[in-house]
């Protein structure tokens, strides 16, 4: 008897993500959150490759946003887009199952508050999500080296996590360059203060997943804003 395995509607999209290619993921943090679905759909229609959803718990960072119930509602309305949750939370292990249940594609968590990083990575994988490892500006990049082989992406924060609209920290670029030099096929994401004026620094250092919040949200022509980010990254990708 042939056993039918149910198909993930986003399977092709997910498997295409394993190569180093340019991905632009707007952050909806500073959008009109009362209109979350329309804002998200508008960003996807404007050329976004994925949605970057900032989850904050008020403990790991001094701000509070939304959790899995909101992400699940959004997923019901947007079944096909790639969802990354940026987990700025004190206990990332706690939210793995609920986020997997909300059909999140990639679970990106900060390693700083975690005692057993390999265990969290394993649980994320077992739940069927991809793994992103995030570090704050003050965390040295070599701290994550031992976990990189088992991750799908590393996120280098270019602001202190917690709020949108902050100034880009150019001095994080050596971390990105070190990663790109040592891990040529790694997906490297930057997040915080990234826009038309700072994208070239990120692209030149080797970032290929680009989170941009206010620079895209506040731009009257979001399509143009996303296309500017993409062109810069593509210029530097070999």
Ligand X SMILES: O=C(CO)[C@H](O)[C@H](O)COP(=O)(O)O
Q: Which residues are catalytic?
A: 54, 191
CB 23 within 8 A of CB 16: no
Q: Closer to ligand X at the Cβ: 29 or 100?
A: 29
Q: CA 24, CA 71: separation in Å to the nearest integer?
A: 19
CA distances from 90 to 59, 94, 155, 163 (A): 6, 9, 17, 16
Q: How many helices (H) and strands (E) does the chain have?
A: 10, 8
Identify what 218 binds: Fe ion, ligand X, none; CB under 5 to 8 Å per kind. none
Minimum Å gap between C-beta 163 and ligand X is 6
Residue 152 binding Fe ion, by CB under 5 A? no
Binders of ligand X among residues 20 to 49 (CB under 6 A) are 27, 29-30
CB 130 within 8 A of CB 17: yes
CB 201 within 8 A of CB 170: yes
Minimum Å gap between C-beta 44 and Fe ion is 17
Q: Closer to ligand X at the Cβ: 33 or 182?
A: 33
* Angle in degrees, CA 174, 156, 236, rounded to 5: 60
Q: Closer to ligand X at the Cβ: 58 or 128?
A: 58
Q: Closer to Fe ion at the Cβ: 6 or 62?
A: 62
Q: How far is CA 25 from the centre of its chain?
A: 7
Residue in 39, 84, 189, 191 binding Fe ion, rule: CB under 5 A: 191
Q: Which residues bind Fe ion (CB under 5 A)?
A: 54, 86, 191
Residue numbers of the site for ligand X (CB under 6 A)?
A: 27, 29-30, 52, 54, 86, 159, 161-166, 191-194, 211-215
């Amino acid at each position: 008897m042939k056993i039918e395995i149910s198909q993930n509607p986003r399977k092709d999209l997910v498997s295409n993500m394993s190569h180093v290619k340019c991905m632009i993921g707007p952050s909806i943090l500073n959008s009109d959150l009362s209109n979350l679905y329309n804002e998200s759909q508008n960003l996807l229609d404007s050329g976004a490759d994925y949605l970057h959803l900032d989850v904050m718990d008020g403990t790991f960072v001094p701000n509070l946003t939304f959790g899995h119930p909101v992400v699940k509602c959004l997923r019901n309305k947007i079944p096909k887009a790639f969802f990354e949750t940026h987990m700025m939370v004190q206990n990332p292990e706690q939210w793995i199952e609920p986020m997997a249940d909300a059909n999140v594609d990639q679970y990106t968590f900060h390693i700083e508050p975690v005692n057993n990083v390999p265990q969290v990575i394993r649980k994320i994988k077992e739940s069927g999500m991809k793994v992103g490892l995030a570090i704050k500006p003050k965390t040295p990049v070599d701290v994550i080296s031992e976990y990189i082989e088992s991750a799908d992406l590393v996120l280098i924060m270019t602001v202190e996590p917690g709020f949108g609209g902050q100034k880009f920290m150019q001095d994080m670029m050596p971390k990105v360059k070190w990663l790109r030099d040592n891990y040529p096929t790694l997906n490297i994401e930057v997040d915080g203060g990234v826009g038309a004026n700072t994208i070239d620094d990120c692209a030149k250092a080797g970032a290929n997943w680009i989170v941009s919040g206010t620079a895209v949200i506040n731009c009257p022509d979001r399509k143009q804003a996303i296309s500017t980010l993409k062109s810069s990254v593509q210029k530097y990708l070999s």
